[in-house]
């Protein structure tokens, strides 16, 4: 993907990509680190429909939400020759019963046979998290298992 | 009541009043500069009440204000940005200079202020307010717009042009004649080029030398360096303000960012003083005869700036509404127009009417600029029946 960089003298830098439908989506990063998400208008592509200020944490979380599906797709591709194994991603929310507790507390592998192969947090990928790693609201868990196992994992993580 | 006591009371009243008025301006998203000028007009010669005590403090504080304004301007840009801007947009810069310097210069000739007056008034109408433009772009959420880099490039070139213009003006005002003027300009161009090259190559070393882990020593070092460089530049007849600007350019990276943060409140205080002093030195009774000219100049130079921005945006492949936005953002004149006029006033070569004209002109433009930037596009869309779609 071609990322365009435009310096904004005295203000900062703009980084954006042009989508398939012609819209520009990107970031304006000001000198002091203040980041804005920008989306261009359809009828006037020079202007912006919105420029939304994001904190560093918000930007990172949004980044991992956007990056999650690609990781899942990659994993699915890797074990596409293993029938019966699939990959799914689960978002840890405030309502998740295990939010703020170590991953081991979910006893997911014992109960469902599915395992958490990666954790995405604030744009960072934590591969093979250990049972001691604490899961937090906003984390994205990438889980590999059988379809039934994944359904059971969903039930555990969503507290039903 | 001693002189110091009177000065303290008067300064207190002025700053407090400006603070309250400034708050009001901020609520409407207005630049405070016109209010500072009004404040000065009200309390200066021929104003409601005459404040004598502030003149002495105001004079030197105003000078420091100019040094800080230009230092901060230099800090905003890196040498690399200036060189890139010069390479990529010199045509737009030239267009800007021709279109916007001419109306001021012509009016000065018409009013009989001669070549010196033309030089000064041309500078006043030429330079847009980068402070107001940056604020408008941020407030209206236009930082991500495609025309914004075009606008910024024009502003960068204007600021760079100041580095050439101010020494020339200082020389002309000093009345040192053609040969002396040429020498000064030669020296200053050499110095500007040398500083740009040095900043490109050794900027990080200068920055490292200025930087200090403690805020206090950092502040002292940077202010000390700025005043020293400004003073030396002034002694070489190159204009103090340009010295400060060049120092600002030479400082780069993280040092520049933290210096800008540290200096901002000081700049605001001293620059406000400078604007007030300009107002103080302007007799309101000299204003009515020139107000018509100020309005005419405002209308003409709003149109020429608009044309400059639209032309530059068009060259960059921006659509019609983007051109309107680029043009209107540049309309505002502010702090640097006053700096130019302030330097002229200090020399005492020009008639008092120039003061009044510039004060009225900048007050008009600093208020009208942001309004035009905000409402021109929606108004034109309504006129041409092309409503804006939410998508």
Asked whether the predicted pLDDT for residue B200 surpasses 90, the reply is no
pLDDT of B331 reads 95
Asked whether the predicted pLDDT for residue B324 surpasses 90, the reply is yes
If you measure CA to CA, which chain A residue comes closest to B388?
A43
Model pLDDT for residues B80-116, shown as the tens digit of each residue: 888 888 888 889 999 999 999 999 999 999 999 888 8
Instruction: Tell me the residue range of the domain where A124 lies.
Output: 59-158
Write the DSSP symbol of residue A134: B
In order of B98, B123, B125, B169, the CA distances from B108 in angstroms are: 16, 11, 11, 15
CA distance B325 to B313: 9
Same structural domain, A117 and A42: no
* Number of domains into which chain A is organized: 2
Same structural domain, A121 and A76: yes
Same structural domain, A46 and A69: no
Asked whether the predicted pLDDT for residue A123 surpasses 80, the reply is no
Q: Does A42 contact B156 at a Cβ distance shorter than 8 Å? A: no
Mean pLDDT of the region A49-77? 82
Q: pLDDT averaged over chain A?
A: 85
Contacts of B318 (CB under 8 A, 6+ apart): A46, B146, B147, B150, B326
Q: Does B143 contact A28 at a Cβ distance shorter than 8 Å? A: yes
Which of A9, A16, A54 best probes binding to B when mutated, by most B CB atoms within 10 angstroms? A9
Name the percent of chain A lying above pLDDT 90.
Answer: 9
Name the percent of chain B lying above pLDDT 90.
Answer: 32
Answer whether B322's CB lies under 8 Å from A46's CB.
Answer: yes
Same structural domain, A104 and A137: yes
Residue A3: how many other CB atoms lie within 10 Å = 10
**DSSP β-bridge partners for residue A102:** A134
CA distance A142 to A91: 9
Q: pLDDT averaged over chain B?
A: 86
If you measure CA to CA, which chain B residue comes closest to A6?
B149
CA distance B236 to B302: 36
Two tokens, residue B376: 């021109």
Same structural domain, A93 and A33: no
Same structural domain, A83 and A147: yes
Model pLDDT for residues B52-79, shown as the tens digit of each residue: 777 778 888 888 999 999 999 888 888 8
CA distance B92 to B181: 27
Q: Does B85 contact A9 at a Cβ distance shorter than 8 Å? A: yes
Write the DSSP symbol of residue B2: -
SS3 B234: helix
Answer whether B364's CB lies under 8 Å from B295's CB.
Answer: yes
Which residues on chain B are in Cβ contact (under 8 Å) with A46?
145-147, 318-319, 321-322, 325
The interface pTM score, or ipTM, of the predicted complex is 0.78
Same structural domain, A39 and A64: no
Picking from B134, B153, B318, the nearest residue to A46 by CB comes out as B318
pLDDT of B71 reads 92
A6 close contact with B: CB closer than 8 A: yes
Higher pLDDT, A32 or A106: A106
Same structural domain, A120 and A139: yes
If you measure CA to CA, which chain B residue comes closest to A8?
B149
Same structural domain, A71 and A142: yes
Same structural domain, A17 and A72: no
A100 — alpha (psi -120 to 50), left (phi > 0) or beta?
Answer: left
**DSSP β-bridge partners for residue A121:** A124
Q: Does A11 contact B143 at a Cβ distance shorter than 8 Å? A: yes
Same structural domain, A47 and A65: no
* Residues of chain B contacting A, Cβ within 8 Å: 76-77, 81-82, 84-85, 130, 134, 137, 141-149, 152-153, 155-156, 257, 261, 318-319, 321-322, 325, 388-391
Answer whether A140's CB lies under 8 Å from A92's CB.
Answer: yes
Residue A137's domain is classified under what CATH number? 3.30.70.1450
Answer whether B300's CB lies under 8 Å from B102's CB.
Answer: no
> Which residue from B169, B182, B163 is spatially nearest to B350, judged by alpha carbons?
B169
Place of tokens 């204003």: B287
pLDDT of B362 reads 93
B389 — alpha (psi -120 to 50), left (phi > 0) or beta?
Answer: beta
Q: Report the b/e string of B298-308 with b at 16+ CB within 10 A.
A: bebbbebbbbb
CA distance B253 to B110: 47
What is the rounded (10 degree) CA torsion for B339, B340, B341, B343? 80
Same structural domain, A96 and A39: no
Which of B89, B144, B253, B328 best probes binding to A when mutated, by most A CB atoms within 10 angstroms? B144
**Domains recognised in chain B with CATH numbers:** 62-377 (1.20.1530.20)
- Size of chain B in residues: 391
Picking from A8, A32, A41, the nearest residue to B148 by CB comes out as A8
B195–chain A nearest CA distance, Å: 19
Give the phi and the psi of residue A127 in degrees, each rounded to 5.
-75, 150
Sheet architecture: strand order including A35-40? A4-8, A12-18, A24-30, A35-40, A48-54
Q: Does A7 contact B322 at a Cβ distance shorter than 8 Å? A: no
Model pLDDT for residues B329-380, shown as the tens digit of each residue: 999 998 899 999 988 887 777 888 898 999 999 999 998 999 999 899 889 8
A5 close contact with B: CB closer than 8 A: no
Picking from B82, B141, B155, the nearest residue to A51 by CB comes out as B141
Q: Does A45 contact B146 at a Cβ distance shorter than 8 Å? A: yes
Q: Does A51 contact B156 at a Cβ distance shorter than 8 Å? A: no
């Amino acid at each position: 993907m071609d990322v365009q960089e435009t310096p904004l003298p005295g203000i900062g830098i703009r980084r954006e990509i042009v989508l398939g439908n012609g819209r520009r989506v990107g970031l304006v990063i000001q000198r002091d680190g203040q980041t804005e998400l920008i989306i261009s208008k359809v009828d006037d592509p020079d202007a912006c429909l919105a420029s939304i200020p994001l904190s560093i944490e918000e930007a990172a979380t949004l980044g991992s939400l956007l990056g999650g599906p690609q990781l899942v797709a990659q994993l699915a591709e890797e074990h596409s020759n293993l029938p019966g194994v699939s990959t799914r991603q689960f978002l840890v929310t405030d309502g998740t019963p295990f939010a703020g507790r170590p991953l081991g507390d979910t006893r997911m592998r014992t109960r469902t046979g599915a395992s958490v192969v990666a954790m995405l947090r604030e744009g960072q990928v934590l591969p093979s998290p250990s049972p001691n790693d604490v899961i937090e609201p906003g984390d994205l868990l990438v889980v590999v298992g059988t379809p039934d196992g994944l359904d059971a994992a969903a039930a555990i993580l969503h507290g039903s | 009541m001693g002189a110091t006591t009177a000065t303290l009371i008067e300064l207190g009243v002025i700053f407090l009043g400006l603070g309250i008025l400034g708050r009001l301006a901020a609520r409407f998203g207005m630049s405070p500069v016109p209010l500072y000028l009004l404040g000065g007009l009200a309390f200066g010669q021929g104003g409601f009440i005459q404040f004598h005590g502030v003149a002495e403090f105001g004079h030197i504080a105003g000078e420091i204000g100019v040094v800080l304004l230009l230092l901060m301007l230099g800090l905003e840009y890196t040498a690399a940005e200036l060189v890139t801007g010069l390479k990529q947009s010199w045509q737009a810069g030239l267009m800007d200079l021709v279109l916007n310097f001419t109306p001021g210069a012509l009016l000065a000739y018409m009013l009989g202020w001669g070549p010196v007056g033309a030089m000064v008034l041309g500078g006043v109408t030429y330079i847009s307010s980068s402070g107001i433009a940056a604020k408008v772009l941020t407030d209206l959420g236009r930082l991500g717009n495609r025309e914004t880099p075009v606008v910024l490039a024009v502003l960068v070139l204007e600021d760079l042009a100041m580095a050439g213009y101010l020494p020339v003006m200082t020389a002309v005002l000093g009345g040192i004649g053609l040969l002396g003027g040429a020498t000064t300009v030669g020296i200053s161009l050499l110095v500007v080029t040398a500083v740009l090259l040095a900043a490109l190559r050794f900027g990080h070393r200068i920055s490292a030398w200025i930087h200090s882990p403690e805020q206090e020593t950092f502040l002292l070092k940077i202010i000390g360096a700025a005043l020293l460089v400004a003073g030396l530049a002034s002694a070489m007849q190159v204009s103090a303000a340009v010295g400060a600007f060049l120092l600002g350019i030479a400082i780069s990276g993280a040092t520049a960012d933290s210096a800008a943060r540290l200096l901002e409140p000081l700049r605001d205080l001293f620059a406000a003083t400078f604007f007030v002093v300009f107002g103080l030195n302007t007799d309101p009774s000299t204003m009515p005869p020139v107000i018509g000219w100020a309005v005419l100049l405002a209308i003409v130079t709003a149109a020429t700036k608009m044309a400059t921005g639209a032309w530059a945006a068009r060259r960059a492949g921006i659509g019609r509404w983007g051109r309107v936005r680029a043009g209107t953002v540049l309309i505002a004149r502010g702090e640097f127009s006053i700096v130019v006029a302030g330097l002229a006033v200090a020399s005492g070569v020009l008639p008092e009417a120039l003061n009044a004209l510039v004060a009225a002109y900048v007050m008009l433009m600093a208020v009208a600029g942001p309004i035009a930037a905000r409402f021109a596009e929606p108004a034109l869309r309504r006129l041409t029946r092309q409503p804006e779609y939410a998508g």
